[in-house]
């Protein structure tokens, strides 16, 4: 499991996280919920080494990741699908996927990992030679998830994977995430689609104003009147 304790982080003089504490299980799926500006992306950037926290710790395999460089965090089994996907539009689908297997520990299993990605997203196999920039938004999201899976992660982190996608496409992406979780890969999902995230994930936490205000089984949050009013609307 990954343990975040008393994490403080921000940008310049601006404080975003004000003592975040949470535990991400070593299996299954956990959702990270909260309003815009709550600090969700900042927390994910700290976990993946893209932002150094000002205080606190991030424990993974008895190592404090707050002092580990991003590429070494990937080598330790943590991969992230960033908001906006961050793909190379003028490279092919397969070339983008291959970039995920950069770490020495992943090279031997790269061919098998690629076939698993194509089995999960058959449309990518059909378009393996096509430039990523010519794909639809949903297909690009599949490439981004596939690239992360090429690192052969134990923990997959996703930042708003449904953003800007049509409901039918989102349903397919979330079905794929459920399939990934069934293979033993833990998933930490930051998502604005609260109902879908709580339906999909086993547990969830709510981040508000830089602090975790709730952490509970997803069904408990779905049944909570305050959570329903704040995040699901009066008719939910």
Task: Give the model confidence (pLDDT) of 164-185 as tens digits.
Answer: 899 999 999 999 999 999 999 9
Phi, psi for residue 15 in degrees, rounded to 5:
-90, 135
- For residues 121 and 231, the model is more confident at 121
Q: Indicate the SS3 state at residue 223.
A: helix
| Angle at CA of residue 30, ends 29 and 35, nearest 5° | 140
**pLDDT value for 106:** 85
Please tell me the number of Cα atoms within 13 Å of 46 on its side-chain side. Answer: 32
Q: How far apart (Å, rounded) are the C-alpha atoms in residues 135 and 229?
A: 37
**pLDDT value for 235:** 43
What is the overall mean pLDDT for the chain?
A: 93
For residues 34-38, give the mean pLDDT.
90
pLDDT > 80? residue 233:
no
pLDDT > 80? residue 234:
no
Q: Indicate the SS3 state at residue 141.
A: helix
Q: How far apart (Å, rounded) are the C-alpha atoms in residues 152 and 78?
A: 9
pLDDT > 80? residue 3:
yes
pLDDT > 60? residue 45:
yes
What is this structure's pTM? 0.92
CATH superfamily of 1-75+192-236: P-loop containing nucleotide triphosphate hydrolases (3.40.50.300)
48 contacts: CB under 8 Å, gap ≥ 6: 70, 73, 74, 78, 80, 157
Domain ranges of the chain: 1-75+192-236
pLDDT > 60? residue 68:
yes
Q: Indicate the SS3 state at residue 215.
A: strand
Q: Indicate the SS3 state at residue 85.
A: coil
């Amino acid at each position: 499991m990954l343990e975040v304790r008393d994490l403080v982080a921000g940008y310049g003089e601006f404080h975003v996280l004000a003592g975040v504490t949470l535990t991400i299980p070593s299996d299954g799926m956990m959702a990270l919920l909260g309003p815009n500006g709550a600090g969700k992306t900042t927390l994910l950037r700290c976990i993946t080494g893209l932002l150094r926290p000002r205080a606190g710790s991030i424990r993974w395999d008895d190592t404090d990741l707050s002092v580990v460089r991003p590429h070494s965090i990937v080598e330790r089994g943590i991969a992230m699908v960033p908001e906006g996907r961050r793909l190379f539009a003028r490279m092919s689908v397969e070339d983008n996927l291959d970039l995920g297997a950069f770490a020495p520990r992943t090279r031997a299993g790269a061919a098998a990992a690629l076939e698993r990605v194509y089995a999960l997203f058959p449309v990518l196999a059909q378009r393996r030679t096509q430039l990523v920039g010519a794909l639809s938004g949903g297909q690009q999201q599949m490439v981004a998830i596939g690239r992360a899976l090429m690192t052969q992660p134990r923990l997959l982190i996703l930042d708003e994977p449904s953003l800007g996608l049509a409901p039918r496409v989102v349903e397919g992406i979330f079905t794929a995430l459920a399939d990934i979780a069934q293979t033993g890969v833990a998933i930490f999902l930051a998502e604005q689609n609260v109902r879908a995230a709580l339906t999909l994930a086993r547990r969830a936490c709510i981040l508000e104003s830089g602090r975790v205000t709730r952490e509970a089984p997803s069904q408990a949050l779905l049944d909570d009147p305050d959570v329903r009013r704040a995040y699901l609307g009066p008719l939910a």
